[in-house]
């Protein structure tokens, strides 16, 4: 958007299409894990601008024309949608003939009196379990519910956009013979299942079987969803006390998934829970394990996986605040009441994106071959650095992926369990990466992390345009278009209950101030979390720079400017790697297959590209320590009692600061020896493998203010600060509960502690649970098996308050105060 003042002194806003004739496509599959799928399932015209509002049905979507058709075109269109063949009618008999189910049942019933009676007993048990899992599709109910859903969605949203190029890509993958499609989606609200099911049904992809996670449903709602395509994990039946009955539900479920995939019926799996975003849920891991097991056992030769991203202006029902709190089963009446409440809200927009499909067989083959290169545990890499037990020798190549999955799937070995975890985290990363950024997310981010005290509407529009440009430069798509003023006004209208607007008549502007309340801050934080994966690399690098500055702060004079501080590449890489080891990759949107050392190098490069760092040449004989002795007032007292000749207090385990103040009269360097020079790009690079420091010069950088982005470093630090503050407060939480205790109870107690201490009524459940998982990986918390179940207790090193204080100090170094 540009402003232009014409001769009549009227200020006109000119909106320039920022993407021309194409849009960025970031949903390409991983070249490391699926190199063959990179070329096979890519649609060449995927980047062309062709969007369709899937909830807008006109007479063009029917075979008929006329005045009456225009009034009932929605019903006629839904009635013409093709319902493919359901799973075989002899499904119960197929399940009973399954080898695993038959062997499990007959092996345990052997020796009982009356073979026919025992056979009838376990057959009835199998049918009862199957009825809990699914029900046959009802074509009439499907069409009526989809027609009613279209009416509801048209009252909830202005549009639900779908990229036609992405759809053609998925349709091409669906034409692969004898290979089923499995959609792996993010989960933003309880409406997602019905929305995606209707969307796939309307676009000719079939009626998918939709997995239902941990949400408790009433019997009537469960029966209705089953007839519409919902499938459930079987509940453990209390009246069955024998061991073989406890294992039978898992065998029946595995056999059912095999039959669904063999019949090429689409399967939709939600990777996360609405209240715990960007974390692989336990039910999702179970479903993925069943799909992998079906392919491994030869029921199908391959599966094509399609990551799906969903983005809302405002998710219906605000389920990110209510999600896991409700222990009561969800009923039909509650759903109708939630729909009525949603109809009273201001309408927003929604966007559904498909990432590039890829082959499960190829993914498994590529990852199982790399299982022999198993990395070190996080406890071995990061714990010595925090406690100061040994010199800091971090190696990002040796780091394992975060968050091993549960070990409840029968028939999977440890390597295969890790493979399923990698698959889930990888697909979740792809789904988040292909999700569009909405206008409400951009506005919330600006109000929360840049203008917490308030901002004028005119300045908010300028910052909106700046942040939009930064998002597009990082090849991320947005789910809106239109005039800048209208976009900002629309987002403020959706957030009006959490803002205070002051109309200033003399100034002719509007002052926008976020309300200082737990609900308002929670809502803004929820929307702004969508931008963290976009700027995750730069945010990690900015927090690493902040940690270096905190190390150097006691040694700097107040007159030293940030532009006069020089960073060593090795120390910046070291700090970045420490932070990457602390935070789980899925929380930042990183792929688990990427090694942390390469991510650290990539982060440093991105800091240079975004203009926060510039290369600085330093003489080969330059030593920062003599300068530090004269740089700050803290070091001028080196000759005082208790100080040694180096200017360090006696008995203080001190290491040289990781940043140095570089004097302006630094000597010039030869370009043949040094690749960096002021105001110029490097012209030579030394990639030799020599370990000699004399032959490989060190790289140095200094801070720089990017043009047109004032305060960009602080903005990036604020993006990641909520996560780091939650981690730091989680360390303080370790002092309060009585150990040991169950992990579920520990998580709920942590959420209550964060709400009380930090003043947030609804703290981020994802970050809180991620902190507990990280502490388990680090050895801060240890899990012990007891007759009552697994319990968590403090690890041996952290039973002392001194060690816990070191951990909290280590985390706080990276966060803004």
- Residue 6's pLDDT band, with cuts at 50, 70 and 90, is very low
Greater confidence, 23 or 245?
23
**Interstrand relation of 181-185 and 267-270 (parallel, antiparallel or unpaired):** parallel
Q: Which residues, 6 or more positions from 336, have their beta carbon under 8 angstroms from its beta carbon?
A: none
pLDDT digits (tens, 9 = 90+) for 559-584: 556 566 787 888 899 999 999 999 98
CA–CA gap between residue 371 and residue 793 (Å, rounded): 30
Give the residue among 333, 205, 183 at the shortest CA–CA distance from 271: 183
Highest-scoring range by mean pLDDT, 246-250, 343-347, 757-761? 343-347
Average pLDDT over residues 57-86: 82
pLDDT of residue 810: 92
pLDDT of residue 236: 59
pLDDT of residue 641: 37
Secondary structure class of 648 (helix, strand, coil):
coil
pLDDT of residue 808: 92
Identify the weakest region by mean pLDDT among 236-240, 305-309, 373-377, 484-488: 236-240
Contact assessment for residue 273 and residue 222, using Cβ atoms and an 8 Å cutoff: no
Sign of the Cα torsion 442, 445, 448, 451 reads negative
For the cut 50, the answer to whether the pLDDT of residue 630 exceeds it is no
pLDDT of residue 8: 39
CA–CA gap between residue 502 and residue 446 (Å, rounded): 18
Q: Which residues, 6 or more positions from 47, have their beta carbon under 8 angstroms from its beta carbon?
A: 22, 23, 24, 25, 165
Give the residue among 219, 248, 217, 250 at the shortest CA–CA distance from 233: 250
Backbone angles phi, psi at 231, to 5 degrees: -125, 145
For the cut 90, the answer to whether the pLDDT of residue 531 exceeds it is yes
pLDDT of residue 241: 36
pLDDT of residue 323: 41
pLDDT of residue 23: 64
CA–CA gap between residue 371 and residue 364 (Å, rounded): 11
- Residue 522's pLDDT band, with cuts at 50, 70 and 90, is confident
pLDDT of residue 644: 37
CA–CA gap between residue 325 and residue 26 (Å, rounded): 35
Highest-scoring range by mean pLDDT, 52-61, 549-558, 612-621, 712-721? 712-721
Q: Which residue has the tokens 């379990």?
A: 129
Backbone angles phi, psi at 528, to 5 degrees: -70, -20
Average pLDDT over residues 372-389: 68
Identify the weakest region by mean pLDDT among 431-445, 498-512, 577-591, 664-678: 664-678
How many percent of the chain have pLDDT more than 90? 33
Chain centroid offset of residue 642 CA: 51
**550 to each of 244, 568, 659, 726, 761, how far by Cα in Å?**
60, 15, 10, 20, 31
Q: How many CB atoms lie within 10 A of CB 45?
A: 11
For the cut 70, the answer to whether the pLDDT of residue 640 exceeds it is no
Q: Is 60 exposed, middle or buried (0-12, 13-18, 19+ CB in 10 A)?
A: exposed
For the cut 60, the answer to whether the pLDDT of residue 313 exceeds it is yes
**115 to each of 97, 118, 245, how far by Cα in Å?**
17, 5, 17
For the cut 70, the answer to whether the pLDDT of residue 3 exceeds it is no
CA–CA gap between residue 235 and residue 258 (Å, rounded): 19
Q: Look up the pTM and report it.
A: 0.85
pLDDT of residue 319: 41
CA–CA gap between residue 388 and residue 55 (Å, rounded): 59
- The per-residue pLDDT of the chain, averaged, comes to 79
Cα dihedral 563→569→574→575 (10° resolution): 10
pLDDT of residue 399: 52
Give the residue among 658, 563, 674, 656 at the shortest CA–CA distance from 618: 674
Q: Dig out the tokens for 112 from the structure.
A: 């009982």
For the cut 50, the answer to whether the pLDDT of residue 607 exceeds it is yes
Greater confidence, 82 or 323?
82
Q: Which residues, 6 or more positions from 563, have their beta carbon under 8 angstroms from its beta carbon?
A: 702, 703, 704, 705
Average pLDDT over residues 723-740: 89
pLDDT of residue 536: 94
Identify the weakest region by mean pLDDT among 213-217, 290-294, 423-427, 689-693: 689-693
For the cut 60, the answer to whether the pLDDT of residue 775 exceeds it is yes
pLDDT of residue 618: 62
For the cut 90, the answer to whether the pLDDT of residue 141 exceeds it is yes
Average pLDDT over residues 330-343: 84
Q: Dig out the tokens for 229 from the structure.
A: 């395509």
Q: Dig out the tokens for 709 from the structure.
A: 């982005």
pLDDT of residue 524: 92
Secondary structure class of 28 (helix, strand, coil):
coil
- Residue 677's pLDDT band, with cuts at 50, 70 and 90, is very low
For the cut 50, the answer to whether the pLDDT of residue 176 exceeds it is yes
pLDDT digits (tens, 9 = 90+) for 779-796: 889 888 888 778 888 988
First vs last Cα of the chain: how many Å apart?
35
CA–CA gap between residue 460 and residue 463 (Å, rounded): 5
Contact assessment for residue 436 and residue 485, using Cβ atoms and an 8 Å cutoff: no
Average pLDDT over residues 209-234: 88
CA–CA gap between residue 165 and residue 178 (Å, rounded): 24
Could you check whether the bond before residue 161 is cis, i.e. omega within 30 degrees of 0? no
Average pLDDT over residues 629-645: 35
Q: Which residue has the tokens 């909290």?
A: 808
pLDDT digits (tens, 9 = 90+) for 262-312: 999 999 999 998 878 888 888 999 999 999 999 999 999 999 999 999 999
Q: Residue 391 has what DSSP assignment?
A: -
Sign of the Cα torsion 220, 221, 225, 226 reads negative
Q: What structural domains does the chain harbor?
A: 35-367 (no CATH), 438-527 (1.10.10), 536-634+655-687+694-703 (no CATH), 722-812 (1.20.120.1790)
For the cut 70, the answer to whether the pLDDT of residue 147 exceeds it is yes
Highest-scoring range by mean pLDDT, 67-71, 486-490, 800-804? 486-490
pLDDT of residue 488: 94
pLDDT of residue 466: 93
Q: How many CB atoms lie within 10 A of CB 727?
A: 24
CA–CA gap between residue 189 and residue 12 (Å, rounded): 40
**14 to each of 264, 466, 471, 503, how far by Cα in Å?**
50, 16, 20, 25
């Amino acid at each position: 958007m540009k402003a232009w003042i014409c001769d009549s002194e009227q200020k006109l806003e000119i909106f320039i299409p920022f993407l021309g004739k194409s849009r960025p496509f970031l949903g390409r599959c991983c070249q490391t894990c699926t190199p063959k799928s990179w070329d096979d399932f890519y649609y060449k015209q995927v980047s062309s601008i062709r969007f369709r509002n899937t909830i807008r049905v006109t007479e063009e979507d029917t075979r008929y024309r006329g005045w009456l058709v225009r009034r009932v075109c929605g019903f006629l269109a839904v009635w013409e949608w093709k319902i493919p063949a359901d799973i075989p009618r002899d499904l119960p008999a197929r399940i009973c003939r399954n080898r695993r189910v038959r062997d499990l049942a007959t092996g345990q019933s052997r020796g009982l009196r009356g073979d026919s009676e025992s056979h009838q007993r376990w057959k009835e048990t199998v049918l009862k379990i199957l009825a809990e899992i699914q029900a046959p599709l009802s074509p009439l109910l499907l069409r009526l519910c989809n027609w009613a859903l279209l009416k509801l969605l048209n009252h909830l949203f202005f549009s639900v956009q779908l990229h036609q190029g992405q759809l053609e890509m998925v349709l091409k993958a669906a034409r692969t013979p004898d290979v089923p499609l499995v959609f792996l989606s993010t989960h933003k609200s309880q409406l997602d299942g019905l929305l995606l099911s209707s969307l796939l049904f309307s676009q000719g992809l079939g009626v998918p079987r939709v997995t239902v996670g941990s949400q408790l449903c009433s019997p009537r709602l469960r029966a209705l969803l089953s007839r519409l395509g919902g499938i459930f994990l079987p509940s453990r039946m209390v009246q069955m006390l024998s061991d073989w009955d406890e294992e039978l539900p898992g065998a029946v479920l595995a056999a059912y998934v095999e039959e669904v995939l063999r019949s090429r019926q689409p399967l939709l799996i939600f990777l996360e829970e609405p209240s715990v975003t960007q974390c692989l849920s336990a039910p999702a891991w179970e479903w993925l394990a069943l799909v992998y097991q079906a392919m491994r056992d030869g029921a199908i030769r391959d599966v094509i996986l399609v990551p799906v991203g969903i983005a809302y202006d405002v998710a219906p029902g605000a389920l990110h605040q209510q999600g896991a709190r409700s222990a009561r089963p969800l009923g039909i009446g509650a759903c109708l009441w939630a729909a009525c409440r949603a109809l009273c809200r201001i309408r927003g927009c929604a966007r559904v994106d498909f990432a590039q499909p890829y082959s499960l067989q190829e993914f498994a083959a590529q990852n199982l071959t790399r299982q022999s290169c198993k990395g070190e545990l996080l406890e071995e890499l990061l714990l010595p650095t925090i406690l100061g037990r040994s010199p800091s020798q971090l190696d990002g190549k040796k780091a394992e992926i975060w968050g091993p999955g549960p070990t409840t799937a029968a028939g999977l070995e440890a390597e295969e369990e890790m493979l399923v975890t990698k698959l889930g985290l990888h697909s979740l990363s792809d789904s988040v990466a292909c999700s569009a950024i909405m206008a409400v997310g951009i506005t919330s981010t600006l109000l929360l992390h840049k203008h917490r005290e308030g901002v004028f509407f005119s300045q908010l529009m300028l910052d909106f345009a700046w942040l939009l440009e930064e998002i597009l430069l990082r090849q991320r798509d947005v789910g809106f278009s239109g005039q800048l003023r209208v976009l900002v006004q629309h987002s403020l209208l959706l957030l009006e209950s959490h803002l205070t607007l002051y109309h200033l008549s003399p100034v002719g502007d509007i002052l926008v101030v976020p309300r200082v309340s737990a609900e308002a801050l929670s809502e803004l934080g929820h929307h702004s979390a969508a931008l963290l994966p976009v700027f995750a690399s730069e945010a990690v690098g900015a927090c690493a720079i902040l940690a270096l500055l905190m190390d150097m702060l006691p040694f700097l004079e107040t007159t030293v400017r940030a532009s006069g501080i020089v960073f060593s590449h090795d120390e910046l890489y070291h700090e970045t790697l420490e932070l990457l080891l602390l935070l789980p990759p899925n929380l930042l949107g990183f792929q688990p297959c990427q090694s942390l050392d390469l991510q650290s190098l990539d982060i440093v490069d991105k800091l240079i590209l975004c203009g926060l760092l510039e290369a600085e040449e330093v003489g080969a004989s330059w030593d920062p320590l003599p300068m530090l002795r004269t740089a700050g007032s803290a070091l001028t007292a080196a000759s005082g009692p208790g100080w040694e000749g180096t200017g360090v207090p006696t008995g203080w385990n001190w290491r040289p600061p990781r940043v140095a103040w570089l004097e302006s009269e630094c000597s010039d360097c030869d370009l043949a020896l040094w690749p960096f020079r002021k105001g110029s790009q490097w012209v030579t690079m030394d990639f030799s493998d020599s370990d000699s420091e004399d032959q490989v010069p060190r790289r140095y950088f200094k801070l720089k203010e990017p043009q047109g982005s004032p305060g960009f470093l602080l903005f990036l630090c604020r993006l990641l600060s909520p996560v780091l503050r939650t981690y730091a407060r989680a360390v303080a939480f370790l002092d309060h509960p009585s150990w040991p205790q169950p992990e579920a109870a520990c998580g709920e107690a942590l959420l209550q502690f964060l709400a009380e201490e930090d003043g947030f009524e609804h703290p981020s459940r994802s970050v809180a649970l991620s902190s507990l998982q990280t502490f388990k990986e680090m050895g801060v918390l240890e899990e012990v098996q007891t007759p009552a179940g697994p319990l968590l207790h403090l690890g041996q090193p952290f039973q002392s308050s001194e060690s816990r204080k070191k951990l909290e100090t280590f985390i706080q170094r990276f966060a803004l105060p």
